[in-house]
Amino acid sequence: MIDEQLILSGVNRKNEKAWKSLYEHYYAALCAYVNRILKGSESTEDLVQEVFIAIWKSDKKFDSLQDLTRYLYRACYNNALVFVRNNQIHDTILNSIGAESDFTADDVYAQTVREEVTRQLYVYIEALPSEQKKVILMSIEGYSWDEIAEKLGVSVNTVKTHKSRGFKSLRSKLQDSVCLFLI
């Protein structure tokens, strides 16, 4: 994982390494995002891939990471809507997709921000040293200190250190119970 700002220029220059990072940073989040609109369609990954491929094949240049991020979500969103619409026309069974979707036009922005926050947190955690990452992921999964220590085969104190390093101030908002231990 490299710094996101570094991805941008490489993406514009069609640099392989940058594109690989782009995938590592955005692919899973965009798939999850599209999947929320398509409600578990098998086409989710295809659709996201098509967005990436279209950018690769175009001459499009992005001014900023913001620009790139916005574009990716928009393109995925548009293509997903088109997919839903097409399937509605031809397959009445799928008619309910649109109606059931928790995406409505006026909260797309909020939904997208939610995905983006999740993505940034995910990327942040992924970039941590592996021990710290494990501790954080396990604590998010709801394991207690003792359980984490047992699973990782380390002492509780080590776990706490890892946690305080990596999770430093992942405050009560994120995990009340964990923070109690940190205090």
Nearer Cβ to other proteins (142/157): 142
Residues 60-119 touching other proteins, rule: CB under 8 A, are: 65-66, 69-71, 73-75, 77-79, 82, 85-86, 89-90, 105-114, 116-119
Nearer Cβ to other proteins (83/159): 83
Q: Which two tokens stand for residue 144?
A: 């207690």
The residues, any chain, with a CB within 8 Å of residue 173's CB and separated by 6 or more, are: none
CB 112 within 8 A of CB 23: no
Least distance to other proteins, CB of residue 81, Å: 8
Q: Nearest Cα to 147, choosing from 135, 164, 130, 133?
A: 135
Say how far apart CA 146 and CA 25 lie, in whole Å. 32
**Can you say whether residue 153 is alpha, beta or left, with left for phi > 0 and alpha for psi between -120 and 50 degrees?**
left
The residues, any chain, with a CB within 8 Å of residue 127's CB and separated by 6 or more, are: 1
Q: Decide if residue 51 touches other proteins (CB under 8 A).
A: yes
| Contact residue for other proteins among 98, 101, 122, 147 (CB under 8 A) | 122
Nearer Cβ to other proteins (109/150): 109
Q: What angle do CA 111, 43, 65 make, to 5 degrees?
A: 45
Least distance to other proteins, CB of residue 132, Å: 13
Q: Which two tokens stand for residue 180?
A: 């109690």
Q: Decide if residue 179 touches other proteins (CB under 8 A).
A: no
- Choose one: 23-31, 93-101, 148-156, 157-165; the region binding other proteins (CB under 8 A): 23-31
DSSP state string for 129-154? -HHHHHHHHHHHTT--HHHHHHHHTS
Contact flags string 131-150 toward other proteins, x per CB under 8 A = ------x--xxx--------
Interface residues with other proteins (CB under 8 A) are 19-20, 23-29, 31-32, 35, 45, 48-49, 51-54, 56-58, 65-66, 69-71, 73-75, 77-79, 82, 85-86, 89-90, 105-114, 116-122, 124, 137, 140-142, 168-171, 173-175
